[in-house]
Structure 1
Amino acid sequence: MLLRFIHKLEENIVAFLLVAITLMVFMEVVMRFVFNSGVTWIQEATLYTSAWFVLFGASYGVRIGAHIGVDVLVKLLPDPLRRVAGLIAIALCFVYCALFLLGSWDYLELMYMIGIEMEDLPIPKWMALMIMPIGFVLLVIRFAELGWGILTGQKDGFHLADEGKESMHLAEELAKENANKDSSANNTGASK
């Protein structure tokens, strides 16, 4: 139940951030090229919103298997070894997330103590940078889910986006469409 709530919240936040970035950039372009002016805070707001989008998107990408990876050798392994390789990769991901969590927490603590605000907005910088620990906690949750799936046998490892397979599938579809168009053109030409 809690994970379902987190999944839905994460999807909604990613969608909101994408819309916000798009609207801010559009507004800045219109202000700059139509009215020959601009809004001073939009560039900074877009930058921080993009950071939020990327870190929420990283965790969302792990959840849906959208990240690209090189797993040719792992796919050649037998199932038990593939699962072990997946668990080792997840352990390394936990180490990576722990390092970033500790570093971002120290940085946020420093920003809080110093009391620095953003350059163009009257918002404390530590608030804008809160996405760093939030994003890496979400990644830890995703990796924990994936690790549990591997341990319980529901998954055999990371399910990465397979660009090669998707490209071949698209090429086959295009070839079929072209063949259908050619046969339709030949049938139309033959009937004349």
Structure 2
Amino acid sequence: MLHKIDRFYSVMTKYLGYVLFIFMITMTLNVFYDVVMRYVFNSGSIALQELEWHQFSVIILLGMSYSLMEEAHVRVDVLYDRWSIKKKAMINMMGSIVFVLPIALLVAFNSVDFVMASYSSHEISMDPGGLTHRWIIKALIPASFWLLIFFDFGYFIKNLLLYKKANEQDSSEVGEQ
């Protein structure tokens, strides 16, 4: 059962990577267009400039979950690289529960009021010609942290399986001796 859950999370991580790839490509094209328009044609769009940081925000906020699952998050590799697979898995599971989950829950719950205030006030860009409906990008904050909680569960399962596999290997090595 745990292997099926792990495979499900692997597939979900792959699709999240595709979504992030699309956002990265569109952001790159948007920045390229904006630079060409500004410096070649002395023209530009405030809305497209704001869209750049909206796209960047999407990449960062969704990228948290992707980087967690792909082991691309920050850690002290000087120590971590020297540990056994079993110890790494245990540290990852503990970190998942002690660090990721509480922070993600804190932000997920506490950012909802921030989004609701933006939505109820019909917040728009302060710049003329800027984007409207600013609450949409702000709504991604709690949504992305709920997604992080979702993927944190998958990360825990992934490391639990690694821990069990390492434990079985340790047991089989003791039995052979």
Q: TM-score, normalised by structure 2?
A: 0.75
1:93-137 Cα deviation digits (max 9, x unpaired): 101111111222121111112221234445311112222122212
Could you tell me the percent identity over the aligned residues? 24
Distance 1:74 1:2 in 2: 27
Counterpart in the other structure of 1:67: 73
Q: RMSD between aligned alpha carbons?
A: 2.5
Q: Secondary structure at the match of 2:50?
A: helix
Unaligned runs of 5+ in 1: 157-192
C-alpha distance in 2 between matches for 1:82 and 1:61:
17
Deviations 1:63-95 (A, max 9, x none): 212223204334555665544432221111101
Which segments of 5 or more consecutive residues in structure 2 lack a partner in the other structure? Answer: 1-6, 167-177
Q: Tell me the equivalent position of 1:22.
A: 28
TM-score (norm 1): 0.69
Number of matched pairs = 156
Paired residues for 1:25-64 under 5 Å: 25-64=31-70
Greater Cα radius of gyration, structure 1 or 2: 1
Look up the match of 1:85.
91
Choose between structure 1 and 2 for higher RCO, CA contacts under 8 A separated by at least 6 residues.
2
Using a 3 Å threshold, how does the CA distance of structure 1 residues 48 and 154 change in structure 2: closer, same or farther? farther
The 1-side partners of 2:151 and 2:50 are apart by 29
Tell me the distance in 2 between the aligned counterparts of 1:28 and 1:155.
51
2:106 matched to 1:99?
A: yes
